[in-house]
């Protein structure tokens, strides 16, 4: 019998999405383990891969000659059995290659480990003590250095650091090395990206009675040592973070590790400070702004148990802990928890699965649960715990709805309603702050010819170009394509070109015009491109150096400013008109979150929502701060139309530069699926399409879409899988892209 391994090679192609068997040469046997990275011969090349299984077998058991692995690349494993299970589940659930799932789990930047030369004793402490006596008393400085290292054999100081510390020269230390008393050793150093920050230490706050109940419920679940999921539904400003901090402390006491997920956009120094302030160096942070090297270092700090808590965006759900007790997902409803590339996983689903494998507890926190999550509290899958009051019984802000059609009738042609103008003036006089929210960046949303109606569109994407005043250009928000603003219409040569719609730049300009004495700043993708800029604007706002902050989604999230007493929403309807069954849900969530930014201090808050459809239920329920009212209405609609959470959707997008080929392949695929559905007599599963996708062209790629909708996801997946295989056999158009998204969040 000899040893063999199963290896997933790093070549994401249909034909190789399975493990290959390799022989383990005797010299490598002791290094073999599931999760290690290896180099193997593959065809005529050598490729990297990961070990996912080990077996004992005889040479004769195989029909083919089995090649040996060439090399084991690492001493450590990139994943354990638990994470391997998770990767397999993810591939099956989201219908993506196992190698893609494994690559989502391992750190991306596996760069060189950084080392430094440190000075160490060249002998054991006991032998060194004997040697010390041989140094003449006249060389007292040499004695001092040598005895320092005898007393501190574990310190990791370089020559210069040691020289500084003991006020001597590096030459003297080199002398001791040349004499053979000391030696240089290469030591691994870990880059700590936050080491320069001084986090102010915080103590647990005395919990409110609602917080106390939440903490007890979650602690009880932790003590069960079985997996379970708790939805912590707490209104904005109810102190969810303090609950997280106190249950993390419980997990720590029980020797368990915690993963905290926050939306990428909320992973700010303030958020990090809240966790580091309480738990100091036990916290590692994973986010996209880290360099590849820093990321890899943080990953190793987690892997080798230097830390007990990880705070990070979506992918931190794969943090390589081996004693996981708790996963917290803050702002559970956020769409950024869905990964847009393969595997197109949702971090909430992955977290719940991982918790199941690890026997851990998942806590989902939010003021506006996704319909999916809240529905699961009704079916009993999740347990519901609520924080209904704000801290100190502060009232939720008063919300005024303004019908902008009436404003226009009354002769107000500006983008600010009478009431919003009046209230801004009032806040400026009182020295209080205002936030103005708008869903769109840029200056105008589109540019149109008034003579012929021609709209300036991106050549590569089927979307209109957005006008940006600074710099003076038209920009595509899908592919970043930029072009000059035309002076004459490219269609009819008329000079009557008009700018329609309102973007953040225009609002900023409007505010400066209306309130010349006010200090106005803007926060959106355009003003925060440079590193540190986001942070700078927020601290200026916090310090009171800005009176009015205009912004997109970025200002809606989790910020806690006590002096903000007015929030204005320029147009509440922008998301409502999207062809997406979740449009109402998104609007409700967004308005509730934006409104939640005010009245968080001693002073009460006010919200003014401007709208062209103020009667819409999403807007009405957010005015009343009525999540349950909204939920009850929305869930009925979903039930009636057979939408999630009552069904699952698999979206299949076919794309290529040649539209006729896209249509051909879409029709072929649809025929194959329909035939299968017919054969299986599957009435519970519907196929919609093929139709041109709402976003019909992106980066020159035409897009057509098919939707599978039904209650039985397993059957849907196998129908889809088999159909795609059949398509591959029948179609000569193998270069056409077919992309599958299980439980898609966006329908565009
Ligand atoms: N028990 C407590 N006693 C006093 N202050 C508290 C307590 N718990 C939380 N706070 C404070 O209340 C404020 C709001 O808390 P936090 O930001 O955690 O709310 P939240 O529920 O996360 O709100 P949002 O959903 O809007 O982000 C914070 O300033 C926090 O320090
Ligand atoms: Zn024209
Ligand atoms: Zn474009």
- CA–CA–CA angle 588, 267, 581 (5° rounding): 25
Residue 444 scores a pLDDT above 70: no
Q: For 573-580, which contacts have Cβ atoms below 8 Å and span 24 or more sequence positions?
A: 573/611, 573/612, 573/613, 573/616, 573/619, 574/438, 574/439, 574/440, 575/439, 576/613, 576/616, 576/618, 578/694, 578/748, 579/694, 579/747, 579/748, 580/746, 580/747, 580/748
Report how far residue 150's alpha carbon sits from residue 165's, in angstroms, rounded to the nearest whole number.
Answer: 15
pLDDT in tens, 313-343: 999 999 999 999 999 999 999 999 999 888 9
Q: How confident is the model at residue 549 (pLDDT cuts 50, 70, 90)?
A: very high
Mean predicted confidence (pLDDT) in 89-110: 88
| From the candidate CATH numbers 3.40.710.10, 3.30.70.360, 3.30.1330.10, 3.40.1410.10, the one assigned to the domain spanning 648-742 | 3.30.70.360
The percent of residues above 70 in pLDDT, for the chain, comes to 96
Per the prediction, the chain carries an average pLDDT of 89
Q: Compute how many other C-beta atoms are within 10 angstroms of the C-beta atom of residue 42.
A: 18
Q: Which residues line ligand 1 (CB under 6 A)?
A: 205-208, 211, 234, 236-242, 367, 391, 558, 560, 596
**Among candidate residues 584, 242, 610, 551, the one with its CA nearest the CA of residue 423:** 610
Ligand 1 pocket, mutate which of 207, 235, 239 (most atoms under 8 A from CB): 239
Q: How confident is the model at residue 645 (pLDDT cuts 50, 70, 90)?
A: very high
Report how far residue 63's alpha carbon sits from residue 392's, in angstroms, rounded to the nearest whole number.
Answer: 73
Report how far residue 433's alpha carbon sits from residue 384's, in angstroms, rounded to the nearest whole number.
Answer: 35
| 207 CA closest ligand 1 atom index | 1
Least confident of 173-177, 183-187, 599-603: 183-187
User: Of 52-66, 192-206, 518-532, where does the model show the most confidence?
Assistant: 52-66
| CB of 687 closer than 8 Å to CB of 694 | no
For residue 234, the model assigns a pLDDT of: 96
pTM: 0.85
- Measured in angstroms, how far is the CA atom of residue 502 from the centroid of ligand 2? 21
Per-residue tokens: 476: 């595509």
End-to-end CA distance of the chain: give it in Å, rounded.
55
For residue 443, the model assigns a pLDDT of: 64
pLDDT in tens, 471-495: 788 888 777 888 888 888 888 888 8
- Measured in angstroms, how far is the CA atom of residue 636 from the centroid of ligand 1? 33
- Measured in angstroms, how far is the CA atom of residue 462 from the centroid of ligand 3? 7
Report how far residue 48's alpha carbon sits from residue 38's, in angstroms, rounded to the nearest whole number.
Answer: 6
Residue 498 scores a pLDDT above 70: yes
- Measured in angstroms, how far is the CA atom of residue 239 from the centroid of ligand 1? 3
- The protein residue with its alpha carbon nearest to ligand 1, atom 31, reads 239
Report how far residue 282's alpha carbon sits from residue 399's, in angstroms, rounded to the nearest whole number.
Answer: 42
Mean predicted confidence (pLDDT) in 214-243: 95
- The protein residue with its alpha carbon nearest to ligand 1, atom 5, reads 391
Residue 193 scores a pLDDT above 70: no
Residue 577 scores a pLDDT above 90: no
For residue 115, the model assigns a pLDDT of: 66
Give backbone dihedrals phi and psi of 658, rounded to 5 degrees, phi first: -95, 110
Q: What is the DSSP string of 140-177?
A: HHHHHHHHHHHH-TT----HHHHHHHTT--HHHHHHHH
Cis before 645? omega within 30: yes
Q: How confident is the model at residue 114 (pLDDT cuts 50, 70, 90)?
A: low
> Looking at this predicted complex, what is its ipTM?
0.95
Confirm whether 2-105 and 648-742 share one CATH topology: no
| CB of 385 closer than 8 Å to CB of 351 | no
User: Of 197-206, 239-248, 270-279, where does the model show the most confidence?
Assistant: 239-248
**Among candidate residues 351, 257, 345, 246, the one with its CA nearest the CA of residue 301:** 257
| CB of 138 closer than 8 Å to CB of 97 | no
Fold of 209-392: Rossmann fold (3.40.50)
Q: Compute how many other C-beta atoms are within 10 angstroms of the C-beta atom of residue 234.
A: 22
> Domain 394-441+504-639: what homologous superfamily?
P-loop containing nucleotide triphosphate hydrolases (3.40.50.300)
Burial of 451 (0-12, 13-18, 19+ CB in 10 A): middle
**Among candidate residues 405, 360, 366, the one with its CA nearest the CA of residue 384:** 366
User: Of 119-133, 198-212, 265-279, 423-437, where does the model show the most confidence?
Assistant: 423-437
Q: How confident is the model at residue 252 (pLDDT cuts 50, 70, 90)?
A: very high
| 238 CA closest ligand 1 atom index | 21
**Among candidate residues 276, 277, 319, the one with its CA nearest the CA of residue 301:** 319
Q: Compute how many other C-beta atoms are within 10 angstroms of the C-beta atom of residue 365.
A: 25
Q: Which residue has the higher pLDDT, 354 or 195?
A: 354
- The protein residue with its alpha carbon nearest to ligand 1, atom 9, reads 239
Q: How far is CA 19 from the centre of its chain?
A: 30
Residue 439 scores a pLDDT above 60: yes
Cis before 31? omega within 30: no
pLDDT in tens, 284-312: 998 777 788 888 888 989 998 889 999 99
- Measured in angstroms, how far is the CA atom of residue 489 from the centroid of ligand 2? 5
Report how far residue 658's alpha carbon sits from residue 700's, in angstroms, rounded to the nearest whole number.
Answer: 9
Q: How confident is the model at residue 16 (pLDDT cuts 50, 70, 90)?
A: low
Half-sphere exposure in the Cβ direction for 735 (13 Å, CA): 5
Report how far residue 15's alpha carbon sits from residue 13's, in angstroms, rounded to the nearest whole number.
Answer: 6
| CB of 592 closer than 8 Å to CB of 627 | yes
Q: Look at the chain and count its residues.
A: 748
Residue 398 pairs in a beta bridge with 606
Q: How confident is the model at residue 470 (pLDDT cuts 50, 70, 90)?
A: confident
Which residues have their alpha-adjacent CB atom under 5 A from ion ligand 3?
Answer: 458, 460-461, 476, 478-479, 481
CATH 2.40.50.100 applies to domain 2-105: no
- The protein residue with its alpha carbon nearest to ligand 1, atom 8, reads 239
| CB of 68 closer than 8 Å to CB of 25 | yes
**Among candidate residues 199, 268, 219, 211, the one with its CA nearest the CA of residue 237:** 211
Report how far residue 215's alpha carbon sits from residue 161's, in angstroms, rounded to the nearest whole number.
Answer: 46
Q: What sign does the dihedral 469-470-471-476 (CA atoms) show?
A: negative
- The protein residue with its alpha carbon nearest to ligand 1, atom 30, reads 239
Residue 684 scores a pLDDT above 80: yes
Domain ranges of the chain: 2-105, 115-188, 209-392, 394-441+504-639, 446-500, 648-742
Placement of tokens 């490598």 in the chain: 28
The percent of residues above 90 in pLDDT, for the chain, comes to 53
Ligand 1 pocket, mutate which of 560, 563, 597 (most atoms under 8 A from CB): 560
Q: How far is CA 358 from CA 166, 311, 345, 351, in A?
A: 49, 19, 19, 10
Q: How confident is the model at residue 558 (pLDDT cuts 50, 70, 90)?
A: low
| CB of 363 closer than 8 Å to CB of 230 | yes
Least confident of 99-113, 161-175, 376-390, 502-516: 99-113
| CB of 3 closer than 8 Å to CB of 27 | no
- The protein residue with its alpha carbon nearest to ligand 1, atom 1, reads 207
């Amino acid at each position: 019998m000899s040893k063999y391994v199963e290896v997933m090679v790093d070549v994401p192609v249909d034909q190789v999405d399975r493990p290959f068997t390799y022989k383990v040469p005797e010299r490598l046997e002791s290094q073999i383990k599931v999760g290690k990275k290896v180099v193997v011969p593959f065809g005529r090349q050598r490729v990297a891969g990961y070990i996912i299984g080990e077996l004992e077998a005889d040479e004769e058991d195989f029909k083919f000659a089995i090649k040996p692995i060439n090399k084991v690349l690492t001493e450590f494993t990139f994943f354990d059995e638990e994470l391997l299970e998770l990767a397999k589940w993810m591939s099956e659930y989201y219908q993506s290659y196992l190698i893609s799932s494994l690559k989502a789990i391992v750190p991306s930047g596996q760069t060189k480990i950084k080392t430094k030369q440190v000075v160490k004793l060249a002998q054991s402490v006991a032998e060194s003590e004997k040697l010390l006596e041989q140094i003449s008393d006249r060389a007292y400085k040499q004695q001092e250095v040598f005895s320092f290292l005898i007393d501190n054999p574990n310190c990791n100081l370089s020559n210069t650091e040691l020289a500084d510390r003991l006020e001597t020269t590096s030459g003297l230390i080199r002398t001791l090395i040349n004499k053979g008393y000391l030696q240089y050793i290469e030591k691994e150093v870990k880059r700590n990206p936050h080491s320069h920050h001084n986090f102010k230490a915080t103590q647990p706050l005395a919990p409110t009675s609602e917080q106390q109940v939440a903490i007890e419920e979650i602690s009880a679940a932790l003590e069960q040592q079985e997996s379970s999921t708790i939805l912590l539904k707490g209104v904005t400003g109810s102190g969810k973070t303090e609950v997280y901090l106190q249950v993390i402390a419980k997990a720590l006491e029980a020797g368990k590790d915690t993963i905290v997920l926050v939306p990428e956009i909320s992973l700010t120094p303030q958020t990090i400070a809240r966790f580091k302030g309480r738990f100091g160096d036990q916290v590692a942070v994973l986010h996209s702004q880290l360099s590849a090297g820093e990321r890899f270092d943080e990953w190793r700090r987690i892997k080798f148990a230097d830390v007990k808590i990880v705070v990070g965006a979506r992918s931190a759900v794969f943090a390589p802990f081996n004693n996981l007790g708790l996963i917290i997902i803050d702002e559970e409803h956020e769409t950024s928890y869905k990964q847009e590339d393969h595997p197109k996983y949702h971090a909430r689903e992955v977290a719940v699965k991982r918790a199941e494998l690890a026997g851990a507890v998942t806590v989902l926190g939010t003021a506006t649960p996704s319909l999916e999550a809240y529905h699961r509290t009704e079916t009993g899958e999740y347990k519901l715990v609520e924080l209904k009051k704000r801290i100190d019984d502060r009232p939720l802000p008063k919300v005024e709805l303004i019908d902008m059609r009436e404003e226009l009738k009354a002769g107000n042609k500006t983008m600010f309603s009478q009431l919003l103008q009046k209230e801004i003036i009032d806040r400026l006089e009182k020295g209080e702050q205002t936030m103005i929210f708008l869903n769109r960046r840029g200056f105008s949303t589109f540019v149109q010819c008034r003579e012929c109606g021609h709209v300036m569109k991106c050549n590569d994407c089927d979307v209109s170009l957005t006008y940006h005043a600074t710099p003076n250009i038209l920009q595509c928000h899908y592919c970043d394509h930029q072009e000059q603003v035309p002076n004459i219409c490219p269609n009819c040569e008329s000079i009557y070109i008009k700018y329609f719609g309102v973007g953040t730049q225009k609002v900023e300009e409007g505010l400066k015009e209306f309130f010349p004495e006010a200090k106005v700043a803007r926060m959106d993708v355009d003003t925060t491109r440079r590193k540190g800029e986001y942070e700078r604007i927020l601290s200026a706002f916090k310090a009171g150096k800005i009176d009015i902050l205009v912004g997109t989604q970025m200002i809606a999230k989790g910020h806690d400013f006590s002096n903000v007493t007015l929030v204005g929403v320029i147009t509440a309807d922008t998301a409502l008109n999207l062809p997406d069954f979740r449009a109402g849900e998104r609007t409700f969530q967004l308005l509730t979150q934006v409104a939640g930014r005010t009245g968080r201090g001693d002073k009460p808050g006010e919200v003014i929502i401007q709208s062209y459809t103020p009667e819409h239920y999403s807007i009405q329920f957010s005015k009343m701060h009525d999540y349950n009212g909204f939920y009850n209405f929305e869930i009925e609609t979903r039930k009636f139309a057979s939408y999630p959470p009552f069904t699952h959707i698999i979206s299949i997008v076919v794309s290529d530069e040649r539209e006729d080929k896209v249509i051909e392949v879409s029709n072929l695929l649809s025929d194959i699926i329909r035939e299968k559905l017919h054969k299986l007599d599957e009435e519970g599963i519907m196929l919609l399409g093929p139709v041109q996708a709402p976003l019909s062209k992106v980066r020159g790629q035409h897009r057509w879409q098919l939707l599978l909708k039904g209650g039985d996801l397993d059957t849907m997946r196998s129908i889809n899988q088999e159909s795609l295989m059949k398509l591959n056999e029948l179609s000569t158009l193998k270069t056409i892209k077919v992309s599958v998204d299980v439980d898609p969040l966006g329908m565009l």
